[in-house]
Chain A
Amino acid sequence: MKPFTYAAASSLEDVVGALDEGCRPLAGGTDLLGLMKTGIRGPERLVSLKSIEALEGVERREDGWRIGALTTLSELASPARGGEQRELEVLSRAAAESASPQLRNAATIGGNLLQWPRCWYFRNWLTRCWLKGGDRCLAAGGENRYHAILGAARCHMVHPSDPAVALAALDARVELRGVHGVRTLKIDAFFGEPKPLRENGTVVERDEVITAVVVPRPSRESRGVYVKLAERKVWDFALVSAAVQIEMTEGAVTDAAIVLGGVAAKPWHAFEAEGRLVGEALTGTAMEAAASAATAGAVSLSQNGYKIELAEGAVREALRRLQRTFGSESTGVG
């Protein structure tokens, strides 16, 4: 590991002023430190954000939820009880199904959105793939069972985050603070195209830190679920996941967000599938139509075609669960 210096940040202004190519922010460290040990990342300075109180806490405001960047996945996974928590159900489930209890205690939501890809060519310090400045994506012609089926061009990484998928379904915004001020970006805009040697495919600038994630309050008629499919029951990244948030009014879907994880370099909005649901009741036919439209445009590599089937299965299962949720509520059960 390359030697580095460490300091705890004194204020947000100081951090923002200090950040550059060689000076990077540290949150829980569950991703960054591992990458430094294997030599994939080698900052000269680390500034810990953990001392900045302004980045902590979850608040429910008039217009929505404000989730401080230092909020841990554990906190998101088991929020204090109360009726309104149901508003973030999809996010709680996604956080609860991430990693392991120990990791969730340390991992922050800010770091989670900025975690680096798990692609085994990227994580292998012996290879130089396109994302690390090499001339091509090694997965395209190599071992690619875990790689992208949607939207990939030069690089076939998939974004590993579960919470990001749920946040996209909740239409969340990421609040960034840099030397030039504050900006907020929708999840989709926050994750740009993968770019070599950049903060893992996001549009975050070198001087920026995530200060919070802001989630508009879902309507009272809105419910969400998260379905994650993996090779191991727990403590594993998603092969494919689906975050689905649906609003039902008088028996018909009035708003639908269907977002897939594990299939692309960012949470993947299945717009076509959403379109198949709006205006419909949650019938078997409508659900099936949505599930099979979810992977429209998918292109598989030599080994990852099964993800198409899995993605459709995940959406189908998510819709079935929502059908049960809405069904039991309308009959007053549960």
Chain B
Amino acid sequence: MTETVGRPWVRADARAKVTGQAKFPGDFGMADMVHAKILFADRPHARVVSIDTSEAAQVEGVVAIFTAQDVPVNEYGLQTADQPVLCGPGSGKPGADVVRFVGDQVALVVADTRAAAEQARGLMEITYEDLPVVSDPFEALKPGAPQIHPGREASELHPELSTEGNFICHHQIRKGDMEAGWAQADVVVEGQYHTPGQEHAYLQPEAGLAYIDDEGRVAVVVAGQWAWEDQRQIAHALDIPVEEIRVIYPAIGGAFGGREDMSVQIVLALAAYRLQRPVKITWTREESIRGHCKRHPMWFRCKWGATREGELVAAEVQVVADGGAYCYTTNKVLGNTTITCTGPYAFPNAKVDVDGVYTNNPPSGAMRGFGAPQGIFAAEMQMNKLAEALGMDPVALRMRNLLQDEMPTTTGTPLAGGVHLQEVTERCALAAGWERAEEGWRKPAAKGVALAGRPKEAMRTGMGMAVGFKNVGFSFGYQENCWLRIELRGEDDIERAIVTIGTADVGQGAHTVLQQMAAEALQVSMERVSLEASDTGTSPGSSGSASASRTTFMAGNAIREAAALALDGWREGERPAVVEHTYLAPETTPLDPDTGEGFPNFAYGYVAQVVEVVVDVETGELRVRRVVCADDVGKAINPEQVEGQIEGGVVQAMGWVTCENFIAQAGRVLTPHLSTYLIPTIADVPERMETIIVEKPDPRGPWGARGMGEMPFLPLAPALLAAVHDATGVWIDEFPLTPERVLRSLRDGGSLLECDWE
């Protein structure tokens, strides 16, 4: 036994990163390279009537200017190809002459120097015909609203995608008998909620270098989450065989879902291919914030009923999500919202309707939690309000209704892989100070505080709790898979084990964990395992995306299976022993379009949090004093990294709830800098963070591991808002909790959300 799994190995990339040696996409350069700048539309909805490049082309040093007419197949998109690579006339793709959000790309200017490219970009003459803008999803659904993508076709692959009006997609659940459910309900709680968008704000803005490699392929060095998908989309747009494109991910400065979709990849490849020269691009922070997707803003209308004893009997939930200008992963994100918006509870009767809507806002796409944080927020707000209405302790109410093994969810099937919601809830509550007495659960009494001499009467303390769950993997009928190759070298002993895999390390430490699992599976020491990762030139198969909390689960299983095969070969005397293998996750099904029935996912993770806050009712300021988080990760392959993910997830969620405020006015971004879009600093993070790692194995997870990267994000918002309610007696149903919103809500006695639901 080497026992590399379960130990806090220092990250393989740690030394290179802290000493500045690790190379990120922006750090690459080549001798004869040229520099590119993208001309963004900077207007939310317009037809590009004409493009005049003559003056720009005169600038000394300009090498080429690419526009729509230069893109062979002018479309791309992860789920549906609804976005032009470059917007403008002449590409033959219908609708590609229209820009639909400020970050749409209109031209690529390439020059010997960055300054020349920038200067030439400023001299481009674009004639636009502005079109009416719609930036409110409720307005976008009204008759007569401007149409963002008229005349689109149905998708065979994704039947949930809509062709009607500005609807991107629709999901629904019809379970049980709603009338009977309401008849049983002694208490009904109704609520409306709004969750805002969120910027990923990763450390490293988009950058890349494209060149022709030794084998004549177009190589793109860039940061992404799914190299194989990037490769497919680039090849499609350039209309050349996939093998002629090579995508390489070096060190990646964070992703959080924001690199799931494309940014600079296609235009860089196009320019390098056409010029047969290396081309480099680096976005500014402003370009990054304008240019990539955001978390989906959502609006919820909920009605939940329970018996006097606290048994949940019916839930009705309606959700509208602003998908922005293009689909991105909206249909998948909203699948998760559909199954999470009734919380981790056993409802016999449920009616859920979820719509994604096109607008002229920046596209919404993947971001940590992928639709679940929004769903869990609405669900847990409802649950905490129900506890109040019933006069029950919020832990007690949950313990009575949490899903357990074999209990059907709203999709009619149980959660897969062992359900440990009660364990995380219990462990979290006890650690936070709850008492389990004879008569039931008892919340600890709030303690008054004196902070920096502020008057006691202005400082209100409160404590709140929430529970979350989320699926591992994309699934919903998509066959999750992970390719890898193992090569064992040596004579008597395995001297070197080379693992080749497409999986990206987006900064979460995935490669270290893969190395640990490979060492364990092969029973060799860590030093003998080397990883060749994230290069489609060496990994011909798809290892899937570094997202959806899927990497450890999927790659771990692939390693386990391939290692067994490779060891068989080794024992039979193969030298080197080489195995190429694709792990296939258990099958899932899409949700039935009418009833929502199905078996959408093969694995889940569970999490509970308690948050303590102090609210200054005079100034509206908040201070998060303590967060307790219990997270069932199945098995902590690397406990230190698990802790890091929990702390990072909590802080990122805290930013979403407290200070991050993405503001666009009629589609125009007013917060394109980190001086206006405020992410938390070290002074804002919780004063105390207690992480409880629960290890209830998933029988199908590698060494029992579940996915966990997103889960710590999920319950923070509702737990924090429950704490604010506990402190002030007021339910705030929207955030971020800026001083302005807190003071207004205290004055109004709550949120006054007004949406046009009809």
Q: Quick one: given A38-B286, A120-B671, are A231 and B738 in contact (CB under 8 Å)?
A: yes
| B668 within 8 Å of A (CB atoms) | yes
A1, B114: Cα distance in complex, Å:
11
Assess the B118–A309 pair: CB atoms within 8 A.
no
Assess the B740–A229 pair: CB atoms within 8 A.
no
Assess the A233–B739 pair: CB atoms within 8 A.
no
Assess the A234–B740 pair: CB atoms within 8 A.
no
Chain A neighbourhood of B661, CB < 8 A: 231
Q: What 1/0 flags go to A214-257 for Cβ under 8 Å of B?
A: 00000000000000010111111101000000000000000000
| A124 within 8 Å of B (CB atoms) | yes
Q: Quick one: given A126-B42, A310-B739, are A233 and B684 in contact (CB under 8 Å)?
A: yes
Assess the B663–A306 pair: CB atoms within 8 A.
no
Q: Quick one: given A1-B118, A120-B676, are A232 and B684 in contact (CB under 8 Å)?
A: yes
A240, B455: Cα distance in complex, Å:
19
| B19 within 8 Å of A (CB atoms) | no
Q: Which of chain B's residues 77-135 have a Cβ closer than 8 Å to chain A?
A: 115, 118
A99 — nearest CB in chain B belongs to which residue? B675
Chain B neighbourhood of A320, CB < 8 A: 453, 455
B618 to chain A, nearest CB (A): 4
A314, B620: Cα distance in complex, Å:
11
Chain A neighbourhood of B620, CB < 8 A: 306, 310
Cross-chain contact of B670 among A1, A124, A324 (Cβ < 8 A): A124
A321, B455: Cα distance in complex, Å:
10
Chain B neighbourhood of A126, CB < 8 A: 42, 668
Cross-chain contact of B454 among A118, A143, A317 (Cβ < 8 A): A317
Chain A neighbourhood of B743, CB < 8 A: 306, 309-310
Cross-chain contact of B618 among A118, A313, A324 (Cβ < 8 A): A313
Chain A neighbourhood of B348, CB < 8 A: none
Cross-chain contact of A229 among B455, B670, B739 (Cβ < 8 A): B739
| B681 within 8 Å of A (CB atoms) | yes
| A303 within 8 Å of B (CB atoms) | yes
Q: Quick one: given A120-B671, A231-B659, are A303 and B740 in contact (CB under 8 Å)?
A: yes
B737 — nearest CB in chain A belongs to which residue? A231
Q: What 1/0 flags go to B437-454 for Cβ under 8 Å of A?
A: 000000000000000011
| B621 within 8 Å of A (CB atoms) | yes
Main secondary structure of the interface of B (DSSP, over half): loop
| B683 within 8 Å of A (CB atoms) | yes
Assess the A118–B675 pair: CB atoms within 8 A.
yes
| B665 within 8 Å of A (CB atoms) | yes
B688 to chain A, nearest CB (A): 16
Assess the B684–A306 pair: CB atoms within 8 A.
no
| B678 within 8 Å of A (CB atoms) | yes
A316, B453: Cα distance in complex, Å:
13
A142, B665: Cα distance in complex, Å:
8
A234, B679: Cα distance in complex, Å:
11
| B619 within 8 Å of A (CB atoms) | yes
B741 — nearest CB in chain A belongs to which residue? A306
Assess the A232–B681 pair: CB atoms within 8 A.
yes
Chain A neighbourhood of B453, CB < 8 A: 320-321, 324
B687 to chain A, nearest CB (A): 11
A316, B455: Cα distance in complex, Å:
11
Assess the A235–B740 pair: CB atoms within 8 A.
no
| B750 within 8 Å of A (CB atoms) | no
Assess the A3–B115 pair: CB atoms within 8 A.
yes
B68 to chain A, nearest CB (A): 22
Cross-chain contact of A310 among B286, B619, B663 (Cβ < 8 A): B619
Chain B neighbourhood of A235, CB < 8 A: 681
* A contact residues, total (Cβ < 8 Å): 34
A38, B743: Cα distance in complex, Å:
35
Chain B neighbourhood of A127, CB < 8 A: 668
Assess the A143–B738 pair: CB atoms within 8 A.
no
B684 to chain A, nearest CB (A): 5
Q: What 1/0 flags go to B558-602 for Cβ under 8 Å of A?
A: 000000000000000000000000000000000000000000000
| B744 within 8 Å of A (CB atoms) | yes
B668 — nearest CB in chain A belongs to which residue? A126
Q: Which of chain A's residues 310-327 have a Cβ closer than 8 Å to chain B?
A: 310, 313-314, 316-317, 320-321, 324
Assess the A306–B618 pair: CB atoms within 8 A.
no
Chain A neighbourhood of B675, CB < 8 A: 118, 237
| B680 within 8 Å of A (CB atoms) | yes
Chain A neighbourhood of B744, CB < 8 A: 306
Q: What 1/0 flags go to B207-242 for Cβ under 8 Å of A?
A: 000000000000000000000000000000000000
A234, B684: Cα distance in complex, Å:
8
| A145 within 8 Å of B (CB atoms) | yes
Assess the B683–A233 pair: CB atoms within 8 A.
yes
Assess the B739–A231 pair: CB atoms within 8 A.
yes
Q: What 1/0 flags go to A155-193 for Cβ under 8 Å of B?
A: 000000000000000000000000000000000000000
B674 — nearest CB in chain A belongs to which residue? A235
Chain A neighbourhood of B455, CB < 8 A: 320
Q: Which of chain A's residues 99-129 have a Cβ closer than 8 Å to chain B?
A: 118, 120-121, 123-124, 126-127
A162, B306: Cα distance in complex, Å:
53
Assess the B676–A316 pair: CB atoms within 8 A.
no
B286 to chain A, nearest CB (A): 7
Chain B neighbourhood of A314, CB < 8 A: 619
Chain B neighbourhood of A118, CB < 8 A: 675-676
Cross-chain contact of B619 among A3, A229, A236 (Cβ < 8 A): A229
A39 — nearest CB in chain B belongs to which residue? B122
Chain A neighbourhood of B115, CB < 8 A: 1, 3
Assess the A143–B680 pair: CB atoms within 8 A.
no
B111 to chain A, nearest CB (A): 14
A239, B740: Cα distance in complex, Å:
9
A74 to chain B, nearest CB (A): 18
A313, B474: Cα distance in complex, Å:
49
Assess the B739–A306 pair: CB atoms within 8 A.
yes
Q: What 1/0 flags go to B127-170 for Cβ under 8 Å of A?
A: 00000000000000000000000000000000000000000000
B482 to chain A, nearest CB (A): 40
A37, B42: Cα distance in complex, Å:
17
Chain A neighbourhood of B670, CB < 8 A: 120-121, 124, 143
A124, B670: Cα distance in complex, Å:
7
B680 — nearest CB in chain A belongs to which residue? A232
A232, B679: Cα distance in complex, Å:
8
A215 to chain B, nearest CB (A): 27
Q: What 1/0 flags go to B605-626 for Cβ under 8 Å of A?
A: 0000000000000111100000
B43 to chain A, nearest CB (A): 8
Q: Quick one: given A239-B739, A310-B620, A313-B618, are A231 and B678 in contact (CB under 8 Å)?
A: yes
Chain A neighbourhood of B738, CB < 8 A: 145, 231
A236, B684: Cα distance in complex, Å:
12
Q: Which of chain A's residues 36-94 have a Cβ closer than 8 Å to chain B?
A: 37-38
A326 to chain B, nearest CB (A): 14
Pairs A-B, 6 closest by C-beta atoms: A233-B683, A313-B618, A120-B670, A234-B683, A306-B740, A232-B678
* Contacts A234-B683, A321-B453 supplied; 5 other A-B pairs, CB < 8 Å: A124-B668, A233-B683, A233-B684, A239-B739, A306-B739
Q: List 30 A-B contacts (CB under 8 A).
A: A1-B118, A37-B284, A118-B675, A120-B663, A123-B676, A124-B668, A126-B668, A127-B668, A143-B663, A143-B670, A229-B621, A231-B678, A231-B738, A232-B678, A232-B681, A233-B681, A234-B681, A237-B675, A239-B739, A239-B740, A306-B740, A306-B743, A306-B744, A310-B619, A310-B739, A316-B618, A317-B618, A317-B619, A321-B453, A324-B453
